[in-house]
Chain A
Amino acid sequence: MRLESVKELALLRYDAVVKREAQSKKILVCLGPGCLAGGSEQILAEFKIQLKKKKIKGVKLEAVKQTGCQGLCARGPLVTIEPEGIMYTKVRKPDVAEIVESTLIKGEVVEKLLYSEPQDKKKKIPHYKDIPFYSGQTKIALRNVGRIDFHEINDYIAVGGYAALAKVLTKMKPKQVIDEVVTSGLRGRGGAGFPTGRKWATCAKIEEEPRYVLCNGDEGDPGAFMDRCIMEGDPHSVLEGMIICSYAVGSHEGYIYVREEYPLAIVNLQKAIEDAREVGLLGKNILGSGHDFDIKISKGAGAFVCGESSALMKSVAGDVGEPRAKYIRSVQKGLHDKPTVLNNVESYANIPVILEKGGKWFASIGTKKSTGTKAFSLAGKVENTGLVEVPMGTSLKEIIFDIGGGVPEGREFKAVQTGGPSGGCLPASKLDLPVDFDSLTEAGSMMGSGGMIIMDNRTCMVEIARYFLEFLVKESCGKCVPCREGLYQLYQLCTKITKGQGCEEDIALMEKLSKTIQTASLCGLGQSGPNPFLSTIQYFRDEYLAHVRDKKCPGGVCRELIRFEINDNCNGCQACPKVCPVNAISGEKKKLHVIDQDLCTRCGSCEAVCRYDAIDVF
């Protein structure tokens, strides 16, 4: 059923809207990464079974929809009931029958499944629009994620999908499309922040064929899952963005490079591509416009460095993913040495909205130099771990505390790590900084692709630096000396410090080495490699000094430097001796217990199991 014209697409959209509106009651079951791990597939199946059994008026089987990530991963599995906008949290399979009975049949809410703030557990908030986590957000890139069925092209079309493409193909010339993107001020969402419009304009000017449009779906930063959720939850938005790009720069061949660790994203993107091909939105003569474009998926093989543009292009071509010096930009000589546009998943997801509502509209959101919104994945020691999208310029404090709900378990905020391994850690004194491309970089970190890891006072910043350095050493391609040898030596020195074997000269050597690595490395991985060390030494130097001078770990993490002791709160409940793997704890029932420091391995099991705050870490 191929669409031969824009008019036919409009008719299809009309039908899709009618169908979608006809079933006004919707049960949206989140199949995002977190909820999926929590068993939401079984919940989805159970809803279908229940509806088949119960036959409720006005609620057909089609009412149950699988969606991408609904955002509040900390409270998953999530189920949203539309049109009311009721959100059920921590749903389990046995709850489904009750939801069907109470909400779908009787029209009542199930209290125990509603959201409540940790500081006021009695006050339930039934509608997600009223939950602070959601009310603080503005969704553009994530507009459809969590709302539509990711396997249904008609769902995407019903909510307005491919309307921007229709407008572009019939009413705009390629140059006008590029101008609109330039006006929007969109900057690359993968982290580098290069102006997207300028990239497209440069490629369009080069007189060489063929040209390629590539999408970077590698998302290697640990803790980042924004692109994953877009690829899994709204794959057509990526396709539409790429097709619009291909029209603007004159390309007929596109690839989406997806990391091997995202098999679901590959499945969902592949389905979207096949469905788009079937209706003629990919392939020859798209919507009768005369423009040809098709997309293939290129699978990664487990290398962080293949998120780097030139390494990615080598990987797509079937070579070993090693970056090259980019004195000649890849927009000139990219895939197969031909002009190539490479953009991030989130960048493409923004494109249809920019073309539909206009670049000026997009530029009115965010800040002057960082327009639009940005998706973030909140992870670590924060109450509301999950997926959020906020206007650029929103402060760290607002994201972490108002939307994120602050640090749980009564602990204190210590630092926030942004930008993945290439980024850095910022302390509490920097919480008022606006999050955009430039402000965090000035402070010694960077916004990066959107990963945000929050840390509390029981974190050791030296250990954090060591962790990220270990990651980078393992992921370095190994081609150039400063990164391969330099980061390795930096990591060795950092490890020494966490073991209490470091000295102050080591810190000076690490600072000197970092400068060389930054300046001399061949690609971004090496150039930003020392950042975990540099940002922590900038804001947490006293912790490093405690490790080397006093041989102590203030965060209570580095095993060789800490000790566990039982204090007066101990009432002899005997919970801890049971979990101690080396039988280091002794004591009589209901009497103060004691830890034998010679036997203790500092595993922390006793502290984890104690309910009386009786175990201190020094």
Chain B
Amino acid sequence: MAQITINGKVVKAREGEMLLGVIKREGIDIPALCDHPAIEPTGNCRLCMVEISRAEWEGWKKYVTSCLYPVEDGLIVHTHTPELLEIRKNLIDLQLARCPESELIQKMAEDYGIHKTSYEIRPDSDNCIMCYACTRICEVLGCSAISPAMRGHDKKIAPPFDQPPPDCIGCLACAKICPTNVIKWHDEGGTRTIWDKSFEMISCKQCGKKIITKDFAAYIVEKRSLPPEYFDLCDDCKRVETARKMGEIVARVEEVAL
């Protein structure tokens, strides 16, 4: 167990856990756009930066991203100094120039008193804030179908060579984890389309309802050794089927009792 100070309050934390978790547990609200429990932190958005120092540093301090900085006993942390607020404000100002249409960024900007960006707006802008959540979750999945491509200001999230990604299984994790809803997908008939790739959905054998793609089910069956039959029916029909089976048990119990 380690002991650290956050905004003057002494707090206990596990040695080696990331500062951001501790800060959030204390109920302190700092923005962390690229942070998500299901993925490893990367420190892209820089908004979770905090000021740290130690008693032996004699007043010297440094700024670190709390999502990546591990707890050390004796750390002194400040989360809302005027310098940090200025940094966050400027970063959001830059994000607003990049994604002027994003409601999330607009709301954040308003919270920091920015009504209009101070900078030149990106032409043909989309709402991608380059948080890498989509690529990271695809890595966790084990497919790595998409990744950051190009360099610098031209950087974008894309499948290899901008072609339909061979490794994508249509699970939609990337689209759903995206904080600004940039990744679009389309379910129609029995087909799902995402990243310009088409997937056949599993059709419930009884009612035809669709839940996940055939590729995704096959992936889970392979990676986790689940019986493929589990995916034949939709959840509604499986519940009815369960009820029916439970009914059979009831009938047998009553038979035996008689």
Direct interface between A and B, CB < 8 A: yes
Where the two chains meet, the residues of A that have a C-beta atom closer than 8 Å to any C-beta of B are 303, 305, 320, 322, 324-325, 327-328, 473-482, 484-486, 488-489, 492, 509, 512-513, 516, 519-522
Residues in chain B near residue A519, CB distance under 8 A: 49, 63, 83, 87
A481 to B148, CA, bound (A): 14
B69 at the interface (CB under 8 A from A): yes
Which residues of A are found within 8 Å of B68, using beta-carbon distances? 325, 327
Q: B120 at the A/B interface (Cβ < 8 Å)?
A: yes
Q: Do residues B94 and A482 form an inter-chain contact, with CB atoms below 8 A?
A: yes
Q: Which residues of A contact B126 (CB under 8 A)?
A: none
What is the CA–CA distance of A474 and B151 in the complex, to the nearest angstrom? 7
- Tell me which residues across on chain A come within 8 A of B186, comparing CB atoms: none
Residues from chain B with a CB closer than 8 A to the CB of A509 are 118
Q: How many A-B residue pairs have CB under 8 A?
A: 99
Cβ-defined partner of B152 (8 Å) among A476, A492, A516, A522 = A476
Complex interface: chain B residues within 8 A of A477 (CB): 151-152, 155
A513: B residues at CB distance < 8 A? 90
Contact A474 B152 (CB under 8 A): yes
Given A485-B94, A520-B49, A520-B63, the answer on whether A478 and B130 have CB atoms closer than 8 Å is yes
A516 to B63, CA, bound (A): 11
Which A residue's beta carbon lies closest to that of B98? Answer: A485
Complex interface residues of chain B between 28 and 66 (CB less than 8 A to chain A): 42-46, 49, 63-65
Q: Which residue, of B95, B119, B120, B148, has the highest number of chain A Cβ atoms within 10 A?
A: B119
Given A320-B148, A325-B65, are A481 and B130 also a contact pair (CB < 8 Å)? yes
Residue of B nearest to A477 (CB): B151
**A312 → B minimal CB distance (Å):** 15
In this assembly, does B70 line the interface, its C-beta being within 8 Å of a C-beta of chain A? yes
Q: Are B44 and A480 in contact (CB under 8 A)?
A: yes
Min CB distance A221 to B, Å, is 17
Of the A-B pairs whose beta carbons lie under 8 Å apart in the complex, a sample of 30, sorted by A's number, is: A303-B151, A320-B147, A322-B148, A324-B42, A327-B68, A327-B70, A474-B152, A475-B152, A476-B151, A476-B152, A478-B130, A478-B150, A478-B152, A478-B153, A480-B44, A481-B94, A481-B129, A482-B46, A482-B91, A484-B153, A492-B120, A512-B90, A516-B86, A516-B91, A519-B49, A519-B87, A520-B46, A520-B63, A521-B46, A522-B46
Which of A322, A324, A479, A481: most chain B CB closer than 10 A? A481
CA distance A473 to B152 in the complex (A): 6
The residues of A that contact B138 with a CB separation of less than 8 Å are none
Asked if B97 is at the interface of the complex by the 8 Å CB criterion, the answer is yes
The 4 closest A-B pairs by CB, nearest first: A478-B155, A485-B94, A516-B90, A476-B152
B154 sits at the interface (CB 8 A):
yes
**Majority secondary structure, A binding face:** helix
Task: Please indicate the chain A residues that have their CB under 8 angstroms from the CB of B70 in the complex.
Answer: 327-328
Contacts of B98 in A (CB 8 A): 485
Encoded as 1 (CB less than 8 Å from any A CB) or 0, chain B from 100 to 127 comes to 0000000000000000001110000000
B156 to chain A, nearest CB (A): 9
When each residue 139-152 of chain B gets 1 if its CB lies under 8 Å from chain A and 0 otherwise, what string results?
A: 00000000110111
Q: What residues of chain A lie closer than 8 Å to B120, measured between beta carbons? A: 489, 492
Are B46 and A484 touching (Cβ within 8 A)? Answer: no
Question: B16 to nearest A CB, angstroms?
Answer: 10
Q: Which residues of A contact B153 (CB under 8 A)?
A: 473, 476, 478, 484-485, 488
Contact with A along B63-89 (1 / 0, CB 8 A): 111001110000000000001001100
Q: Is the CB of A479 within 8 A of B63?
A: no
Q: Which of A320, A324, A489 contacts B119 (CB 8 A)?
A: A489
| Chain A residues within an 8 Å CB radius of B86 | 516
Query: Which of B46, B49, B95, B97: most chain A Cβ within 10 A?
Result: B46
| Cβ of A493 to closest chain B Cβ, rounded Å | 8
Q: Which residues of A contact B150 (CB under 8 A)?
A: 478
Shortest Cβ distance from residue B4 to the other chain A in the assembled complex, whole angstroms: 15
| Neighbouring A residues of B132 by C-beta, 8 Å | 479
Given A489-B97, A492-B120, A519-B63, A479:B44 Cβ within 8 A: yes
Across the interface, do B42 and A479 meet the contact criterion of CB distance under 8 Å?
yes
Interface-central residue, A324, A473, A484, A520, by most chain B CB under 10 Å: A520
Chain B nearest CB from A180 CB (Å) reads: 30
Chain A residues, Cβ within 8 Å of B44: 479-481, 522
Residues of B within 8 A of A322 (CB): 148
Partner of A327, one of B46, B64, B97, B154: B64
**CB nearest neighbor in B for A328:** B70
